[in-house]
Structure formats: structure tokens, C-alpha cells
Structure 1
Amino acid sequence: MKIIVTGSLGNISKPLTIELIEKGHDVTVISSSPERISEIESLGAKAAIGTMEDVDFLTETFTGADIVYAMEALNAGVFFDHNIDFIQANIQIAKNYKEAIERSGVKNIIHLSSIGAHMESGNGILKFHHEAEKVLNELPENVSIKFMRPVGFYYNMFAFIPTIKSQNAIIQNYGGDDREPWVSTIDIASAIAEEIEKPFNGREIRYIASEEISPNEIAETLGEAIEKSDLKWITISDEDLLDNLIKVGMNPETAKGYVEMNIARRSSVLYEDYFKNRPVLGKTKVKDFAKDFAKVYQNE
């Protein structure tokens, strides 16, 4: 099948591309960086260089495809850009995808959504996933969409490194012994590759998770990997976390959204729909990720 992969060679799109090529598919990877062309081609895929803001480019690239894997992807520094409305920027990308899908005539879409997309409000920065799903659901009924809803990514734990180094602690506005789901991007890629080869039929939702683990267990596992057996997870107030995020330069509105997202996970409302539709857990566990975490920790 001819498959379009958005997200360049990121943490999900690269392993997805590799798996799809191994399975014999014709894969085109969209990237905004011309420097990525040789790496994309070395995997056996074609490169399409352009942006998610360019609807004409998206339309041309989508035309003739059997399946499009669509994800909203802004650069890593966007949380600290005070000139960008993070939520609205992502919603606009979804609108661009919708227009390009309509104009190109592609009929099968896999969309990377998220935990919390079932919530209209109270989900903080995850709100854009709810809105993006709503935008894509406006497509004609003959366009089939699989909404993939992964939980929190393991690699988000890299954000814990600064306070581990400075205060020997992971510091958030939630914590304790209640388990919550996390996921490896490798397992997300595998789930998407699996769904690509299944029939498409209307609108479907699939949650993706690798392990259900508590904050205190995470601190213990990461502490063991970096040889800090006394590493603790410390819970602070919402106000203190917001203040800390703003002090390190995060866009204040994005910081508010991050804190609100954590409030939703603390109250478990974020996971209500997940637990109603609990998936089979993936293969990659936190102990596996902790090896990569330790390497990054030692190099920072």
C-alpha cells in the first residue's frame, strides 16, 4: 500500500517507517527539513519536504495514497515560545489536514490523538486533541478514521532530569502510589503499523499503553537506573508548579494548561475513558526505558 507518514523521523514516525518498509509498503515521509532527505531515503522511503501549514503541499502529497498517518507536530521549543498559542496552532494543523484530505480524495486516515481527547474541558494542553478529533470527524462518512489515543509518553520523563540533578527529586503537582498508564513510542509505532494492515470501517478509537505504574514506582525505577536509590517523587501545590514553570520560561498559558492536565490525571478523570476501553499493554516497560533515561541523564 502507498502510505504517507507525517512527523518526519520523530520518536514515533521513524520506527513506524522502518516497520512499514520491512512489511513491503510504499512509504512517503513528510518532513519540513531538507536535511532529512538522505536519512529518509536510506530507510527505503521517499521524502516529501514541506510543512503542515501548507495545504497545497499536503494535498499534493496525500493524492493517490491508500492511507495517511496524520499527527500534529510542533517543534520541541514551542512550550517556551511566548508568541504561539500552542492549542490553536495544533487545531489549525488539524484543519489543514482536513482540507487536504478532502481535496486529495484519500479515504483512510490514522490520526495520532491522545489520552484526554474524550474531554471537552479540564484536560489542559490536551484540549487540542479533543478539538482535532472534532475537526476530523467533520469529514464525509466515506472517509474512515482510526483515532489512536496513546497515554503519557515515557520520553516526557526526560523533563524530570533538571530537578533530579538539582534537588534529587522528581517534582510535580501529582504523585503517590496510584498507578497510571504510560507508553513507549516504540509500542505506539507498532500499534499504528498493526492498525494500518487491518480493515478500515468508519470511525474507531484505540488506546495505547505499555505499563501502568505509580509515580513512586517510577522514582524507584529511574533512581535505580541512575544509581540514586534515594530518589523521591515530591508533590507540590498547583500554584507552586505553575510558578516554577513560568520561572524557567514556559509560555504562561501553556504552563497553565500543563498544570491543569496534571490536575486531571491526579483526579483520574483523565483516565476515565481509558479504563472503560483498557488496551492490551505493550511490550516496552519503564525498566526498559530507564536504560535510555540513564544514558541521557549521564550526558546532561
Structure 2
Amino acid sequence: MIFVMGATGHIGSKIVSHLLANGQQVRCLARHYPNSAELSGAELIEGDANSVATVTDCMRHCSAVFTMIPPNMKATEPRYYQNKIGEVIAEAVEESGVTKVVNLSSIGANLESGTGIVLGLHDQEERLNALPGVDIVHLRPTFFMENILSGIPSMVAMNRYFGTIPGDIPVDMVATQDIAARAAFLLMNPTFKSHNVEYLLGERTLTFSEAIQELGEIVERPDLEYVAVPESEMRNYLIGAGISADSADAMNELSRAASNGTLQATVSRDKLNTTATSIEEFGRTTFKTAYMAEMERSRARQHQSLSSSPDMHP
């Protein structure tokens, strides 16, 4: 049996699919399973990831577990929130007796300051490494390509994608399917010993301007543009979108670490940390599907607006 946390998310759901396709027994934990059909074949447990007893029960008798701290962008004091969940995970690992852990971390998790939302993942790596007799692989992926999907409404409405990282700064971007593939392999082949770190940096290094231009070509919007905005403007936008002020500040701090080269300085690209999915492949599949769906929603809203307008004819 393999236990997967976050099985309803971008990465966890793909891990489960990989494992099931390879004949593995899989156990998942979530508060709700809105698309349970996608996890058909797995043991689905509804419960609270804040409960040591629940997480411990899920981990018992498992050959390996995938752990992650679920993101909560509405949390005030995000590092406190991350540490609270992290402590539950660590205690459950210890009490369950599981000895093989694949932990989702992040690029920059080796740094003790200046990385905003990643600081809680730094704490979690140290917390798990302190557990006696547990073999661990910390996966440190870079910026998720899927993060770009949140900017599709502005791309459709204004032909622009907004961020705070300057458009000419080199940034590594990885598809979540590549993270999931590596995690699934490690979970099925838990031969790793001691404490290990693996970086996942995507197919090649790009700037945001280059990435958005490539995506624009794929959806026949060659004038699609990346626009860098001040941190204050991004902060106001994020808070308006429902993200807590503390989380918005932490996200801006992480972007600042990418902008000034702090993150890139922590790792060098090589064959081992270079993954398969290119920005073009991501664009032709995940991005194009999401972009066209937003286009349809935009047309529907425009049609509804016109239909509901009062008749102005005499």
C-alpha cells in the first residue's frame, strides 16, 4: 500500500493515476472528493489532515508515503500554518512506523530567509530529517507551469499576463506531470537511503516573456504579452482575489528571490534535474484546453450581457 497526500491536487492526482496504472494499491486522504471517479481504484478516506490520528492511520502498513503541505493562500501567518500541518505529518510518520517518505518541497528550501512562502517547506525538510530511521527524498521543483493558468482570464480579456518578475530574467518552469512521474517512480521503487534532495527544473530555462510568447503562438494570439508590474500592484490584486495579506507578501518575497537570482543560485541545471515536458507541449495540451474554455466562458458572458440589455429601440 502507498499513501498519497493531496490526491485531489495537480500533483497528487497525477501520482495516483501513475500508481494505479502500474497496479499499485493506493490510499488517499482528503476532506472531500469532488471528482472521485478520477481516483477510481484507490482507497479514498475522507478526513482531516490536521489530525495526527487520522494521518497516522492512513500511513500504517504502507511501503512508502508521499507527503506535502497543502497550500492555503487564505491563511494568515502562512509559515505558522505550514508548520502546524508539518508537525502533524512528522508525528504521523514517526507513530505509523513508515520508513520511506517522498516529500514535496521546493527550490529554495535550503535557504533560511528571503523565500517567502517556501520558508515553511524549509522548516519541514529539517523536521522530517530529524526523524530517526526514516529514509527521505525531498523533491524540490521550480515554478509550476500550471501556475500560469490562473492568468488566463487576463490573457483573454486584455491579451496580457501579469507578474512581478522582470520579463527578461531567466526562470525555470516545470510541468506538474513531470513532478508526479518522478514521485510515483520513487514511491514504487523505494530503494533510497538516508536524506536526499532532487531538483526538478523543467525542459529548459526561459524568461516569462519567452514563455508567454510561445503560449500565445499556440492559441493563435502571437501578440500575447507578459507585463511586469510593481509588487504593490500585485499585492492589491492578490488580496482582491481572496488571498490573505500575509500570503500575498510571502508570494511577492518568493518572486523577488527569483528576480534577483537567489533561487537560481541554489542549483545548476544538469541531465538529472532536467525534465521532459517543454513549454510547447504544455501549451498544446493543458494550457490550450484551459484557454479555449475561458474563451467560451467569455463569449457566453458577452452574449448574456447583450441579451439582458434593455431594448433601446423606440
Q: Same fold (TM over 0.5)?
A: yes
The equivalent residue for 1:62 is: 59
**Which residue of structure 2 lines up, in the alignment, with residue 209 of structure 1?**
201
- What CA distance in whole angstroms lies between the structure 2 residues aligned with 1:249 and 1:32? 21
Structure 1 residues 135-171: Cα deviation after superposition (integer angstroms, max 9, x where no partner): 212211x111110111111110012223323432222
The alignment's C-alpha RMSD in Å is 2.0
Structural mapping, 1:69-80, within 5 Å:
69-74=66-71, 78-79=72-73
The answer to whether the 8 Å contact 1:182/1:213 transfers is yes
Q: Structure 1 residues 68, 220: CA separation in 2 closer, same or farther (over 3 Å shift)?
A: same
| Post-superposition offset of 1:232 | 1.7
Is the 1:209–1:279 Cα contact (8 Å) retained in structure 2?
A: no
Where do residues 123-202 of structure 1 align in structure 2 (5 Å cutoff)? 123-140=115-132, 142-196=133-187, 197-202=189-194
My pick for the range that moved more, 54-63 or 274-283, is: 274-283
Correspondence for 1:118: 110
Match of 1:33 in 2: 32
Give the aligned partner of residue 47 of structure 1.
44
Aligned residues: 291
Aligned to 2:19: 20
Match of 1:109 in 2: 101
What is the rounded CA distance, in whole Å, between the counterparts of 1:205 and 1:165 in structure 2?
39
* Residue 237 of structure 1, CA deviation: 2.4
Q: Give the aligned residue type for 2:216.
A: G
Percent identical residues: 27
Matches of 1:206 and 1:193, distance apart in 2: 14
Distance 1:219 1:14, change over 3 A: same
Map residues 229-244 of structure 1 onto 2, 5 A cutoff.
229-244=222-237
In structure 2, relative to structure 1, the CA distance for the partners of 1:231 and 1:37 (3 Å cut) is closer
Contact 2:64 2:102 (8 Å CA) reproduced = yes
Q: Which residue of 1 aligns with 2:91?
A: 99
Structure 1 stretches lacking a partner, 5+ long: none
Equivalent residue, structure 1, for 2:213: 220
How far apart are the structure 2 equivalents of 1:255 and 1:14? 26
1:89 and 2:86 are equivalent in the alignment: no
Structure 1 CA distance, aligned partners of 2:243 and 2:17? Answer: 34
Q: What one-letter code is carried by the residue in structure 2 that aligns with 1:61? A: C
Opposite residue 219 of structure 1, the aligned amino acid is: I
Tell me how far apart the structure 2 counterparts of residues 61 and 234 of structure 1 sit (CA, whole Å).
45
Q: CA deviation at 1:198?
A: 4.5
Q: 1:207, 1:277 within 8 Å by CA — same for their partners in 2?
A: no
Rounded Cα–Cα distance in structure 2 between residues aligned with 1:222 and 1:285: 11
Q: Which amino acid aligns with 1:73?
A: P
In structure 1, what residue type is equivalent to 2:214? Answer: T
The structural deviation recorded for 1:100 is 0.8
**Distance in 1, Cα, partners of 2:7 & 2:174:** 20
Alignment correspondent of 2:312: none
Structure 2 unaligned regions, length at least 5: 295-314
Structure 2 CA distance for aligned equivalents of residues 14 and 240 of structure 1: 33
Decide whether the 8 Å contact of 2:173 with 2:206 is kept in 1.
yes
Q: CA offsets per residue over residues 220-273 of structure 1, 9 Å max, x none?
A: 112112222112212222233323333444311111111111110011101222
- Displaced runs of 4 or more, over 6 A: none
Structure 1 position 52, deviation (Å):
0.9
**Residues 100 and 190, structure 2, Cα contact 8 Å, conserved in 1:** no
Distance 1:95 1:208 in 2: 25
1:86–1:288 distance in 2 versus 1, CA, 3 Å: same
The CA deviation at 1:35 is: 5.0
**What is the Cα deviation at residue 277 of structure 1?**
7.1
- Code of the residue aligned with 1:260 in structure 2: it is E
CA contact (8 A) 1:183 1:209 kept: yes
Q: Verify the 8 A CA contact 2:48 2:54 in the aligned structure 1.
A: yes
